[in-house]
Amino acid sequence: MKIESTTFSKYRQEIYGISAIGIILLHINKYVSLLPMTTIQGKILSIIFENGNIGVDIFLILSAIGLSRSIKCNSISSFYIHRFQRVYLPYLIIAVLYFSWFDLFFRKDGLLQLFLNVTTINYWIIGDKYPLWFISFILLIYLLFPILYWSNIKYVVINKILILFFIIIEIVLYKINSPIYLHYEIALSRIPIFLLGLSISEKNFSINTRKILLIIWGGGISLIFAYMVSLPQMFIRYLLTWFGIAVVLIYIIVREKSYLYLLANIHKYIGKYSLELYINHVLLIQIIKAYKLWKYLPNTIWYIFIPVLSLFISIIIANISKQLIIFFSRIK
């Protein structure tokens, strides 16, 4: 069996859906437990949900592959317009509503904070206190992507040097106990992971059966290391990313060898709204926290209520975004 970058693209939306589910379960599990932690089942589920953050890393790898295909088929201006329509427009609709409530009514921080939050600038000012760090991160990555892409095409070694460079920089920041590492590690650690996705997007990328088995075997070992060895958070993320890639390869193998239409269609449908789901469920949890609502429903209900309501809102936001794009295109 051979897996190429096009194989990842083939199942990209399905994997986006699985990643979104994992991230939602991770965030819910931070506040409530599906089963009591006193039981073995509860501990196992908690460990599974804790690894939902792998979904972010897989999303970034697949995004790099998708962006590479997009930039080949579009001009730079079209590339940026598409990114704005797909990422910033849905975010803007949600963010204006949420941060208007949060900054003007709940916290009463004023218009400046509203502006900083809506534009995502605030993440680079206050660090991990900003709830939507991921949007700030991918907007910056998308802005720089044409440079990263063309440098990778012209000089493949540059991308590999950049991966090593950012890992070394982060190690240095960790060693000196820099506030930059403390507040921005969650984004800094994702730069090499995104660049890895850019490497996978290369035309000649291909892994045979032997390499697939080695990656899957290594992924299992990396998961054990992540839990058994005391390491800085950045290295834990890298180990879990390896495990996440192994899981993705297993999923692709299963999909290539069997049909699983129903499950695949569910994943694909959720993947269609993966970005909106990420934004909505994070902000929904922020509202639940703000009003201390966790105690009003049984824990198990939150695992249903938050994903279902987030998906419902995501569908509405996606449709509003679509109608706005159609409206402005007609004006032109």
Name which residue leads in pLDDT, 285 or 74.
285
Kindly report, residue by residue over 206-247, the tens digit of the pLDDT.
888 889 999 999 999 999 999 888 899 999 999 999 999 999
Tokens of 299: 């824990």
- Residue 187: which of 141, 122, 254, 248 has the closest Cα? 141
β-strand pairing of 3-4 with 206-207: antiparallel
- The residue among 208, 297, 303 whose CA lies nearest residue 253 is 208
Give pLDDT tens digits for 304-324: 999 999 999 999 999 999 999
State the helix-helix crossing angle for 299-331 and 274-290, rounded to 10 degrees.
130
Q: What is residue 32's DSSP assignment?
A: -
pLDDT recorded at residue 227: 87
> Which residues, listed in sequence order, are joined to residue 3 by a DSSP beta bridge?
207
Q: What is the pLDDT of residue 169?
A: 96
Confidence of residue 203 (pLDDT cuts 50, 70, 90): low
Q: Tens digits of per-residue pLDDT, 91-129?
A: 999 999 999 999 999 999 999 999 999 999 999 999 988
Categorize the per-residue pLDDT at 85 as very low, low, confident or very high, splitting at 50, 70 and 90.
very high
* Average pLDDT of the chain to the nearest whole number: 92
pTM of the model: 0.93
Q: What pLDDT is stored for residue 154 in this prediction? A: 81
CA angle 121, 116, 148 (to 5 degrees): 20
The DSSP symbol for 31 reads T
CA 200/CA 97 separation, integer angstroms: 38
CB-based burial of residue 325 (10 Å sphere; 0-12 exposed, 13-18 middle, 19+ buried)?
Answer: middle
Q: How many domains does the chain have?
A: 1
Q: Which residue has the tokens 């720089």?
A: 144
- Rounded CA-CA distance 104/259 in Å is 50
Instruction: Say yes or no to pLDDT of 8 above 70.
Output: yes
| 274: containing domain | 3-331
Once rounded to an integer, what is the mean pLDDT over residues 283-291?
96
Q: Is the pLDDT of residue 280 over 70?
A: yes
Higher-confidence residue of 3 and 13: namely 13
Question: In this model, does residue 54 exceed pLDDT 90?
Answer: yes
Q: Is 70 exposed, middle or buried (0-12, 13-18, 19+ CB in 10 A)?
A: middle
pLDDT tens per residue, range 165-197: 999 999 999 999 999 999 999 999 999 999 999
Question: What does the alpha-carbon distance between residue 278 and residue 69 come to, in Å, rounded to a whole number?
Answer: 23
